[in-house]
């Protein structure tokens, strides 16, 4: 571990104290885990603390852990992972928080801490159904307004539920049930059994 990572780890442990649930160092990066109840105060502290100064939110995404470890994982299903950058100290940090309720996953919004979180949180809502408490405009961003479900959830069907097409008779786009029929791919053996053996 480099001196820079050791300095960042010490600063995180000092600043966060009991709010830090877990800290791991892997591949030259630090990941911290915080509880959903502490998420917003921790993120404000990461931005404002003089020893940390994470001025920029680089990325925020949702994660569905329902099939993690080939289904052997037994914990909360949805998480929000945030990547932060300190331009002052030139270091990065990954923050993970699990939503406590799998049926209605919700964590605090970071829009009032970093304005760039706005679109990222909308994307996580659209694709995973994760709600962000305090977000002023939480609506779909990449799927259609009439879209049903959240396509990045592991239990969402690959073909989806509905498809849309243009109907020339009605002169508009219409929605209808999916017409893709499931098919099985059978591998073809191209070579003979003893091909290439002399």
Q: What is the pLDDT of residues 40-54, one digit of tens each?
A: 999 999 999 999 999
- pLDDT recorded at residue 106: 96
Q: Tell me the backbone φ, ψ of residue 64, rounded to 5 degrees.
A: -110, 115
> pLDDT digits over 133-171, tens only?
999 999 998 887 777 888 998 888 777 778 888 999 999
Cα–Cα nearest to 54, from 1, 6, 108, 15? 15
* Helix runs in 17-145, H state only: 39-48, 117-128
Q: By the 8 A CB rule, do 89 and 96 touch? A: no
- Neighbouring residues of 173: CB distance < 8 A, sequence distance ≥ 6: 164, 165, 166, 167
Q: Is the pTM of this model over 0.85?
A: no
Q: How confident is the model at residue 189 (pLDDT cuts 50, 70, 90)?
A: low
**pLDDT at residue 129 tops 80:** yes
Half-sphere exposure of 137 (CA within 13 A, CB side): 8
- pLDDT recorded at residue 77: 94
Radius of gyration over every alpha carbon of the chain, rounded to an integer in angstroms: 23
């Amino acid at each position: 571990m480099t001196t820079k990572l050791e300095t960042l780890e010490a600063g995180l442990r000092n600043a966060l104290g009991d709010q830090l649930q877990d800290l791991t160092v892997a591949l030259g990066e630090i990941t911290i885990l915080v509880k959903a109840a502490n998420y917003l105060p921790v993120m404000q502290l990461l931005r404002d603390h003089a020893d940390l100064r994470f001025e920029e939110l680089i990325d925020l995404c949702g994660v569905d852990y329902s099939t993690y470890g080939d289904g052997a994982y037994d914990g909360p299903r949805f998480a929000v992972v945030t990547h932060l950058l300190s331009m002052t100290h030139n270091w990065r940090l990954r923050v993970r928080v699990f939503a406590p309720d799998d049926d209605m996953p919700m964590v605090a919004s970071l829009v009032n801490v970093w304005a760039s979180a706005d679109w990222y949180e909308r994307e996580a809502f659209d694709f995973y159904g994760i709600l962000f408490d305090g977000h002023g405009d939480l609506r779909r961003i990449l799927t259609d307004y009439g879209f049903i479900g959240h396509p990045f959830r592991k239990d969402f069907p690959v073909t989806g539920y509905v498809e849309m097409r243009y109907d020339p008779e009605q002169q508009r786009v219409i929605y209808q049930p999916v017409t893709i029929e499931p098919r099985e791919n059978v591998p073809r053996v191209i070579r003979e059994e003893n091909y290439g053996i002399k």
